[in-house]
Structure 1
Amino acid sequence: MNTSVHPPEVSHFHHRFEGWLGDELLEVFPCFLVSSALAKAIEEAGLVGFSLDDVEVSTSPEFQELYPGRALPEFRWLKITGKDRDADFCLTPDSRLEVSSRALNVLRQFKMAQAVIEATKG
């Protein structure tokens, strides 16, 4: 990871879970993870402004202690490629995820209890 630029550039994504509350869309600055089921749904919906890539996932000893026997779903790296509001997925200047109403309708079909969703102006 190149940390001399902001946001950092990531070429290999390994996320080690310390805990997980079940959401299928996760922000791990500056990256996003989606469950494979959600990844499939956004692809099938024909949404634009993203690509999917592999992510390496592991769990910490604390995770294993807190959630003995709990299996994580398969996750994919959701890379945001949209450059403006014409895309279904893009990043705001302060690196927050912005999605179209079409994308939000798909996302709302999945568990996102911890997500903060705000309406945009304009």
Structure 2
Amino acid sequence: MYFYVEPEVSGGFGDNTVVDTSTHPPLVSKLHYQFDGWLGDDLLETFPCYVVSALLAKEIELAGLTGYTLGDLETSKSEQFKELYSGKELPTFYWLKIDGVAGKDDFGIAEDYRLTVSEKALKTLKKGKIDEAEIENF
């Protein structure tokens, strides 16, 4: 069984993101995720990138899942975030770079550019908080 997962969107590209928008999907070589809000999920997105909390990254690595690599990213808080969530600390996040095949690897990208995960990967993701994610059958 495989599933589509559409994670919480808590922000978008920050000023230090390096992105080539001449292709679709855009090619991101450096990710700066700027938070505008955050409902607390451990898996987030800003098209076409996914980010995971350090807690969830560790669970993913321990599970031996396929179809991804972890990378560093820069995070920041927008003025809106600072106003709405005064004093709220963010955990460390990592860039979850998806390079797997949808329906074959534990993590993949479908033809419609949505994230796909195996049943094993979904169980692993649920070890963190993914309450805001929309999940449906692939």
> Is TM > 0.5 for Structure 1 vs Structure 2?
yes
Question: Within 5 Å, which residues of 2 pair with 1:1-80?
Answer: 1-80=19-98
SS of the residue corresponding to residue 29 of structure 2 reads coil
CA distance in 2, matches of 1:100, 1:16: 29
Identity %: 52
Give secondary structure in 1 for the equivalent of 2:30. Answer: coil
Give the letter aligned to residue 61 of structure 1.
Answer: E
Q: How many angstroms does 1:62 deviate by?
A: 1.3
Structure 2: which 5+ residue stretches go unaligned?
Answer: 1-18
| TM-score, normalised with respect to structure 1 | 0.95
3-state secondary structure, aligned to 1:98: strand
User: What is the letter of the counterpart of residue 38 of structure 1?
Assistant: L
Unaligned stretches of 5+ residues in structure 1: none
Number of corresponding residues: 120
Report the TM-score, using the length of structure 2 for normalisation.
0.85
Aligned-partner Cα distance in 2 for 1:83–1:90? 5
Contact in 1 for aligned 2:102/2:116 (Cα 8 Å): no
Alpha-carbon RMSD across the aligned residues, in angstroms, is 0.8
Say which SS state the counterpart of residue 118 (structure 1) adopts: strand
Aligned AA (2:124): V
Alpha-carbon distance, 1:110 to partner = 1.2
Structure 1 ranges of 4+ moved more than 6 A: none
